[in-house]
Amino acid sequence: GRRGYPEAVYCEGKTPAQVAGIAAAVRDRGATALFTRAAAGHAAAVLGELPDARHDPDARLLAWPPEPPAPSGGRVVVVAAGTSDLPVAREALLTATYLGRECELVVDVGVAGLHRVLARLELLRSARAVVVAAGMDGALPSVVAGLVAAPVVAVPTSVGYGAAFGGLAPLLTMLNACAPGVAVVNIDNGYGAGHLAAQIAAPA
Amino acid sequence: GRRGYPEAVYCEGKTPAQVAGIAAAVRDRGATALFTRAAAGHAAAVLGELPDARHDPDARLLAWPPEPPAPSGGRVVVVAAGTSDLPVAREALLTATYLGRECELVVDVGVAGLHRVLARLELLRSARAVVVAAGMDGALPSVVAGLVAAPVVAVPTSVGYGAAFGGLAPLLTMLNACAPGVAVVNIDNGYGAGHLAAQIAAPA
Amino acid sequence: GRRGYPEAVYCEGKTPAQVAGIAAAVRDRGATALFTRAAAGHAAAVLGELPDARHDPDARLLAWPPEPPAPSGGRVVVVAAGTSDLPVAREALLTATYLGRECELVVDVGVAGLHRVLARLELLRSARAVVVAAGMDGALPSVVAGLVAAPVVAVPTSVGYGAAFGGLAPLLTMLNACAPGVAVVNIDNGYGAGHLAAQIAAPA
Amino acid sequence: GRRGYPEAVYCEGKTPAQVAGIAAAVRDRGATALFTRAAAGHAAAVLGELPDARHDPDARLLAWPPEPPAPSGGRVVVVAAGTSDLPVAREALLTATYLGRECELVVDVGVAGLHRVLARLELLRSARAVVVAAGMDGALPSVVAGLVAAPVVAVPTSVGYGAAFGGLAPLLTMLNACAPGVAVVNIDNGYGAGHLAAQIAAPA
Amino acid sequence: GRRGYPEAVYCEGKTPAQVAGIAAAVRDRGATALFTRAAAGHAAAVLGELPDARHDPDARLLAWPPEPPAPSGGRVVVVAAGTSDLPVAREALLTATYLGRECELVVDVGVAGLHRVLARLELLRSARAVVVAAGMDGALPSVVAGLVAAPVVAVPTSVGYGAAFGGLAPLLTMLNACAPGVAVVNIDNGYGAGHLAAQIAAPA
Amino acid sequence: GRRGYPEAVYCEGKTPAQVAGIAAAVRDRGATALFTRAAAGHAAAVLGELPDARHDPDARLLAWPPEPPAPSGGRVVVVAAGTSDLPVAREALLTATYLGRECELVVDVGVAGLHRVLARLELLRSARAVVVAAGMDGALPSVVAGLVAAPVVAVPTSVGYGAAFGGLAPLLTMLNACAPGVAVVNIDNGYGAGHLAAQIAAPA
Amino acid sequence: GRRGYPEAVYCEGKTPAQVAGIAAAVRDRGATALFTRAAAGHAAAVLGELPDARHDPDARLLAWPPEPPAPSGGRVVVVAAGTSDLPVAREALLTATYLGRECELVVDVGVAGLHRVLARLELLRSARAVVVAAGMDGALPSVVAGLVAAPVVAVPTSVGYGAAFGGLAPLLTMLNACAPGVAVVNIDNGYGAGHLAAQIAAPA
Amino acid sequence: GRRGYPEAVYCEGKTPAQVAGIAAAVRDRGATALFTRAAAGHAAAVLGELPDARHDPDARLLAWPPEPPAPSGGRVVVVAAGTSDLPVAREALLTATYLGRECELVVDVGVAGLHRVLARLELLRSARAVVVAAGMDGALPSVVAGLVAAPVVAVPTSVGYGAAFGGLAPLLTMLNACAPGVAVVNIDNGYGAGHLAAQIAAPA
Ligand SMILES: Nc1ncnc2c1ncn2[C@@H]1O[C@H](COP(=O)(O)O)[C@@H](O)[C@H]1O
Ligand SMILES: Nc1ncnc2c1ncn2[C@@H]1O[C@H](COP(=O)(O)O)[C@@H](O)[C@H]1O
Ligand SMILES: Nc1ncnc2c1ncn2[C@@H]1O[C@H](COP(=O)(O)O)[C@@H](O)[C@H]1O
Ligand SMILES: Nc1ncnc2c1ncn2[C@@H]1O[C@H](COP(=O)(O)O)[C@@H](O)[C@H]1O
Ligand SMILES: [Mg+2]
Ligand SMILES: [Mg+2]
Ligand SMILES: [Mg+2]
Ligand SMILES: [Mg+2]
Ligand SMILES: [Mg+2]
Ligand SMILES: [Mg+2]
Ligand SMILES: [Mg+2]
Ligand SMILES: [Mg+2]
């Protein structure tokens, strides 16, 4: 992979046969790889070539080899605003883990219940990079960025009622965060969020 | 006016001469009226016909007669997230005042500095209706709605960098507020926000 | 729940297993709860843990305990512009009912047949808050707000031809209502509309 | 002009010199013409070549020759929802007049005050085509179309608060009118509305 | 129905049971009705109550009673730019027929082959109203309006590649038609187009 | 310049001082250059350094050296749908000329008057590449592409009523052209259109 | 077909029966034809009438007669930024082939790995027209246009995360390409891209 | 300021008098501050209270005290794709400087001239964080992120032709960057970009 990080294979829009071919090549080259956005058929194709790959169906991710590298650099804390944001948050967490960071997950701390965010302040402030996955109003990264000194990687999710427009609403919220220090990535792009956080928290 | 409330004359898009004609008719009928979105020329036109009208240039509003009615019903608290939201907030406050409510103004309590919101909690909880004017990420109404039991009237402002798209970003944030109890009105529509809050806080 | 109101569990984007876990926790804590946007699988999951919960499949809502609280505060009138808006209207009505309001439903009074609206004027004017669910042009809340003194909670629905853009058209109509007193909530968000109306009509 | 109707010269985006050249050619050919969207400089250029042309500055329109043809066909009724819609309404009215229709103007009958529409019902029902110019929520054409059997030509105006998005909101409202019989034209396009109405009301 | 025209029942978003109930009421009142946007289930429901209703599956329309009224007024010519626009064109044609007009259908005369439009000029010019259904670039109504004196009802269809955005592209094209005399209706709204054309071509 | 073509300096967003500096460097290097989108101040700055540069104020373009190269390759025909599209059309024409093509200009042949297009068919068919600049409905490139075998470079202009949305409407029309052979460039980008046409018509 | 090129039949939105009818007519007329966007059912319908037609399921295209014409004119090089862009790239390649060009395919040379583009520079520079299919950021055409003198036909694909908005993001990127010489076609429109490239590379 | 960083005062939308009041308070508190988006009037107001503040008119920024802190942490490299992006790039550079980082500026290395980027590779790879400001196609961050291991902070600028839509096009490009490691901030938000880069490059 580029710069010592695992290669990423974006499975959506590829056939299982194409993914199997890529997995076989990964095995033959002895490369390290993450397969993202893997539906059931993609997962089966990967496991056919790399039977001991780690598969996390919630995150729709497979990693090979299954052991992540020993952690180095700073800590990454991943926050899911609500239960519905968990798949994206887990994708971020696993990505950062396989890029070599120590990671912690925090769930269900949305803006409507500030005390729950405030209760996790110490953990949040221990991070070298914080990832926040949120849908609907996408307001949580603004709040977290106001509480911590580290960069906040904000990943909007496509969760919400009609006027969320598939993640557009939280995306705009995050781009307009009134606290500085918010780095925005694409809608539902947990892989990108985890990758960016791992780069930020990389050893100097 | 309708239902005992003052008439509203929206000045934008009208000539000063048209506004003067309306002001003269208001005087002749002995009506009560608010002139909103009044530029300097509109204000001069109104004051030419109604010399003792109250004029608030920041809110771009004129009221006639200048004395608001004696307050009745519950309290309305108007919150401006930042200094830039003050014109819209003042328009809401004056509107609710001239519809007969007791009003309080709270400034500069944005999401990026939660402690400032929390410091005003008692006042916020004393309200029968809270108006929150905010631009940029528009996240403050979500936070306030999570802290108070009364309805929050959220008014997005057109303040912000490019991806705020003239108020579209905070508008979407507010429509997607993850706390229930948020009533959204049009961008920069302080008049509408104040009117709605006054109706909510009206005597039963 | 917050402020004595039932908790709300938004089921869309959660697995039935996750919803079952939440339902079990609700039962164990003796909490009161509403499960919204519940598909058949979610409903079965809730009923597995809370067998006597009330289930309204049209509104895709479950309530527990099944008995709503005794009504207090003012009346909430819920209007469905057309038959297609009924699911959203019912969700609003049930939500307000379980928050403790007395509610009435009015159906099929769209803008294209004004006499039908005018025929229900007395009932509309008896409300402390009116909810109007409408798709397509979303014009009905403007009309109703011109006829009643109480606040109108306007909820756009995703019903309509292509240029309704999934509810965007009625959403914009409602935000631009030329009569003051219109509080807008998210597309198809009957829960949010009912909650806001219940807060407005709460006992002082 | 095409089909016996006057030519139309859209002045916006043309220099006064270009417009003067076109006006001279009109004079030399003995043609009939309407100059639309004419700013002061355009008007002066036209009047320099066609000194007795009729100039209506509110509608930003010039007509030559100044006498409209004798009326034929059915009546066209033009409705302006508010004072701010008058320039567009007048442009429609003058266009239909110069295409040979008898026209009537109705003002200030917006949706928020239904009784004012209902008071003009007889006139509205006497029309072979009704033009309705409205900004903000653009709801009036839906209401009028529910009251009359003739086609309603709906022209959205760019009047309104931020979320009107320069006329997009009333445009969408009109395209989604829940009453059939609404023909939509471009934002602020009074010329197009008047032309279409004149064609509809043309003698068989 | 309103003004002697059949009632319209928009089936999308209604359950077959609801539609059956409406059909039964139509039968009992002896009303005339069109059921639009009827999927197979809706059609079966209607035919269960009104067995001799006319069903056109391509247009997704049912009419009752099956006999249209004797034609009166002027002719309506309906043009489908391409084969893919036929369902919408047929819906318009049947609607105008059941509102009492004589109708003709013209197919496959798109802008890319002008000679095919020009070959049908005589028929097009015999119409009191022309309906044009077109997707993709939606350019045909502009061309037709330049060729005929009668009003052109333009109905955009959702046919096309990605940047047609579900009919948005032809909708905008039609609203911006550089020839006057184009009346625009909603995307895929053949019913609305046929209704409007029938009103335009109604006997004076 | 790259590949023997002149350099292009986009003046908008640069200060006159910056443009003067670039012009001086062009002179010193003996380069050939086009200065596009040059307002009066930019033009003066260029002419201060390159006094004999050719300046076309309508096209807002300056060329240096003032003599274009001797023509080679095929002919480029540039079509302006209306007078308002002339500045963009001229920018395209001059660009192609300074890239070494023989060019012809055709004006005022919009879709609403097909006979005017058809009258220029021979010239259009003599081209190796046709540029069509059009605003409003942007329908002309579809028509022209149906008539000629050469590629059509379509450049949308920002001319039009509100729902043209600054050129978005003709842009979408052109991207959805129902005739193949249409190459779309950015709104008002006459330079880009002329450059592309010159490349297409370059000697083999 | 027009100008000696095969006819194109766009299958999406047509029934297999309609497509079969068109295929039979093609056979009877002895025409040459391409069937694009052909799903399995469409393909079967074509093959029922034209059993020896060439079918490429990846490109969803059928060609008849199966032999392309002998190549003439210049070379067309088709580039797929990633594996997911292959179906669109293949559609372009086959279209240009059946219009009579010699074609080459280049795969997996995205912007994130510049060395892979640079490694194919000689082939890219041998083309008379280059087609580039890319999704996500759509940046590759800008890069290629900076490296070659020939026109680049850019075709955005609908591949990508949420904020790609179905191809809108790469479409806008390509329209704004900072290198001149980029011709944009519709999203996923491989047929249009191949057709345009074949016209550009046609013998003089 | 928060976390030892200077306070930021966003001047746009504030009156000079309001800004002067804030500047006076900064002086009295002995705080450190940046005044961003300062027009001439704002700058005069700040300098009236803080005469020795540093003023950079190109970046529209004032800093007080004028001396930045001694550099710590890693290097920040700021890249301006074109001359027009310089104001935004300078705002980022000064912000990061006043937050305590060592900074380098790289200009005019756009995507259309890859060799210019490649010539600066060593400097780019020496950075702990790279800021890239780019308008039009916004493709440069994708290219840079493919070349360096450090995070790339991408700031879209509002520079470009019509279909750049005020920075929307490069914003979407950056969010869809096909290379991982791109952190996006708001359009023209040089302050936010510099702040984020400074946080990323802060001493561990
Ligand atoms: N804590 C905050 N400080 C400053 N601005 C904020 C804050 N929270 C939100 N904002 C928004 O930022 C914009 C500018 O605020 P200001 O600089 O205070 O006028 C306003 O629209 C506010 O709504
Ligand atoms: N008078 C009306 N008749 C039918 N529909 C209406 C009317 N007014 C508004 N609508 C809207 O049209 C849609 C379909 O209504 P229905 O056919 O009654 O389910 C709903 O979203 C209504 O909001
Ligand atoms: N009853 C109404 N009163 C005022 N304005 C209305 C009304 N109904 C609609 N509007 C719209 O509000 C805008 C301003 O109206 P006006 O203040 O009368 O110029 C216009 O675009 C009207 O279309
Ligand atoms: N170097 C790259 N690697 C992968 N994808 C790329 C690259 N550059 C651009 N892309 C885009 O990413 C999408 C997915 O690519 P792939 O995973 O190769 O199918 C395609 O739409 C490509 O256009
Ligand atoms: Mg922070
Ligand atoms: Mg609350
Ligand atoms: Mg009211
Ligand atoms: Mg009607
Ligand atoms: Mg015509
Ligand atoms: Mg052609
Ligand atoms: Mg090139
Ligand atoms: Mg990188």
Task: Quick: pLDDT tens for H53-67.
Answer: 999 999 999 999 999
Which chains sit next to E, with 3 or more Cβ pairs under 8 A?
C, D, F, G
Residues with beta carbon < 5 A to ion ligand 8? D 145, 181
Predicted local confidence at residue F181, as pLDDT:
97
**Average pLDDT rounded to a whole number, residues B160-186:** 96
Residues D106, D138 share a domain: yes
Residues D102, D36 share a domain: no
Predicted local confidence at residue G102, as pLDDT:
98
**Average pLDDT rounded to a whole number, residues E166-177:** 97
Pairing type for strands C61-64 and H7-10 reads unpaired
Backbone torsions φ then ψ of B107, nearest 5 degrees? -120, 150
Segment A105-154, tens digit of pLDDT: 999 777 767 788 899 999 999 999 999 999 999 999 999 999 999 999 99
> Is F70 a member of any domain?
no
Res H196 pLDDT > 60: yes
Is the peptide bond preceding residue F65 cis, with omega within 30 degrees of 0? yes
Q: Is the CB of residue G19 below 6 angstroms from any atom belonging to ligand 4?
A: no
Are the C-beta atoms of residues H23 and H49 closer than 8 Å to each other? yes
Residues of F whose CB is below 8 A from E174 = 137
Instruction: Return the closest-CA partner of residue H183 out of H171, H175, H191.
Output: H175
For a pLDDT cut of 90, what percent of chain A falls above it? 90
> Is H195 a member of any domain?
yes
D170 Cα to the center of ligand 3, angstroms: 12
Q: Which residue minimizes the CA distance to atom 9 of ligand 2?
A: C110
> Is F154 a member of any domain?
yes
Q: Using CA atoms, how far apart are residues H137 and H15, in angstroms rounded to an integer?
A: 35
Predicted local confidence at residue F3, as pLDDT:
53
Residues F168, F126 share a domain: yes
Q: Which residue minimizes the CA distance to atom 9 of ligand 4?
A: G110
Residue B54, classified by CB atoms within 10 Å of its CB into exposed (0-12), middle (13-18) or buried (19+), is middle
pLDDT band (50, 70, 90) for residue H179: very high
Residues of C whose CB is below 8 A from D178 = 81-82, 110-112, 136-137, 139
- Examine the fold and report which residue of H64, H83, H113 is the final residue of a domain before the chain moves on: H64
Predicted local confidence at residue B3, as pLDDT:
53
Predicted local confidence at residue F204, as pLDDT:
84
Predicted local confidence at residue E3, as pLDDT:
53
Bridge partners, residue B201, by sequence: none
Q: Using CA atoms, how far apart are residues A109 and A102, in angstroms rounded to an integer?
A: 21
Predicted local confidence at residue H3, as pLDDT:
53
Residues C127, C79 share a domain: yes
Predicted local confidence at residue D3, as pLDDT:
53
G195 Cα to the center of ligand 5, angstroms: 52
Residues of H whose CB is below 8 A from B82 = 10
Instruction: State which H helix or E strand residue B156 sits in.
Output: strand B152-156
How many structural domains are present in chain D?
2
Half-sphere exposure of E75 (CA within 13 A, CB side): 11
Segment H114-133, tens digit of pLDDT: 788 899 999 999 999 999 99
Q: What is the DSSP letter of F133?
A: E
Number of Cβ atoms within 10 Å of the Cβ of F198: 29
Contact between chains at B111 and A138 (C-beta distance less than 8 A): no
Are the C-beta atoms of residues C79 and C133 closer than 8 Å to each other? yes
Q: How much of chain D is helix, strand and coil, in % rounded to 5?
A: 45, 20, 35
For a pLDDT cut of 70, what percent of chain C falls above it? 98
Q: Is the CB of residue G134 below 6 angstroms from any atom belonging to ligand 4?
A: yes
Res B79 pLDDT > 80: yes
Q: Is the CB of residue B170 below 6 angstroms from any atom belonging to ligand 1?
A: no
Higher pLDDT, G113 or G163: G163
Residues F132, F40 share a domain: no
> Is G70 a member of any domain?
no
Q: Is the CB of residue B159 below 6 angstroms from any atom belonging to ligand 1?
A: yes
Residues H105, H175 share a domain: yes
Predicted local confidence at residue C3, as pLDDT:
53
> Is E70 a member of any domain?
no
What string of H, E and C letters represents the secondary structure of chain A? CHHHCCEEEECCCCCHHHHHHHHHHHHHHCCCEEEECCCHHHHHHHHHHCCCCEEECCCCEEEECCCCCCCCCCEEEEEECCHHHHHHHHHHHHHHHHCCCEEEEEECCCHHHHHHHHCCHHHHHCCCEEEEEECCCCCHHHHHHCCCCCCEEEEECCCCCHHHHHHHHHHHHHHCCCCCCEEECCCCCHHHHHHHHHHHCCCC
Q: Which domain holds residue B49?
A: 2-64
Whichever domain contains B96, its CATH number is 3.40.50.1970
Res E136 pLDDT > 90: yes
Residues G122, G38 share a domain: no
Residues G86, G52 share a domain: no
Predicted local confidence at residue C86, as pLDDT:
95
Instruction: State which H helix or E strand residue E21 sits in.
Output: helix E16-29
Residues of C whose CB is below 8 A from A163 = 167-168, 171, 186-187
Res D35 pLDDT > 60: yes
Which of G91, G182, G187 to mutate: most F Cβ within 10 Å? G182
Q: Using CA atoms, how far apart are residues E132 and E108, in angstroms rounded to an integer?
A: 11
Residues B51, B142 share a domain: no
Residues of E whose CB is below 8 A from C161 = 186-189, 192
Segment G68-89, tens digit of pLDDT: 999 999 999 999 999 999 999 9
Backbone torsions φ then ψ of A162, nearest 5 degrees? -50, -45
- Examine the fold and report which residue of C64, C91, C118 is the final residue of a domain before the chain moves on: C64
Res H77 pLDDT > 70: yes
Predicted local confidence at residue G1, as pLDDT:
39
Segment F170-197, tens digit of pLDDT: 999 999 999 999 999 999 999 999 999 9
Q: Is the CB of residue C89 below 6 angstroms from any atom belonging to ligand 2?
A: no
> Is C69 a member of any domain?
no
Q: E–G contact (≥3 CB pairs within 8 Å)? A: yes
Segment C102-137, tens digit of pLDDT: 999 999 777 777 788 899 999 999 999 999 999 999
Q: Using CA atoms, how far apart are residues B85 and F133, in angstroms rounded to an integer?
A: 43
Q: What is the DSSP letter of G113?
A: G
Residues F113, F91 share a domain: yes
Task: Pull the structure tokens for residue C97.
Answer: 């009912």
Which chains sit next to D, with 3 or more Cβ pairs under 8 A?
B, C, E, F
Q: Is the CB of residue B135 below 6 angstroms from any atom belonging to ligand 1?
A: yes
> Is D69 a member of any domain?
no
Which of G168, G170, G178 is closest, CB to CB, to H111?
A: G178
Residues H185, H105 share a domain: yes
Instruction: Return the closest-CA partner of residue C39 out of C63, C21, C57, C66.
Output: C57
With b for 16 or more beta-carbon neighbours within 10 A and e for fewer, the H41-73 pattern comes to ebbebbbebbeebbbbeebbbbbbbeebeebeb
Residues H174, H98 share a domain: yes
Contact between chains at E162 and G187 (C-beta distance less than 8 A): yes
Mutate to test the pocket of ligand 3, among D90, D108, D137, D174 (most ligand atoms within 8 A of CB): D108
Segment E172-191, tens digit of pLDDT: 999 999 999 999 999 999 99
Q: What is the DSSP letter of C149?
A: S
> Is E142 a member of any domain?
yes
- Examine the fold and report which residue of D38, D64, D90 is the final residue of a domain before the chain moves on: D64
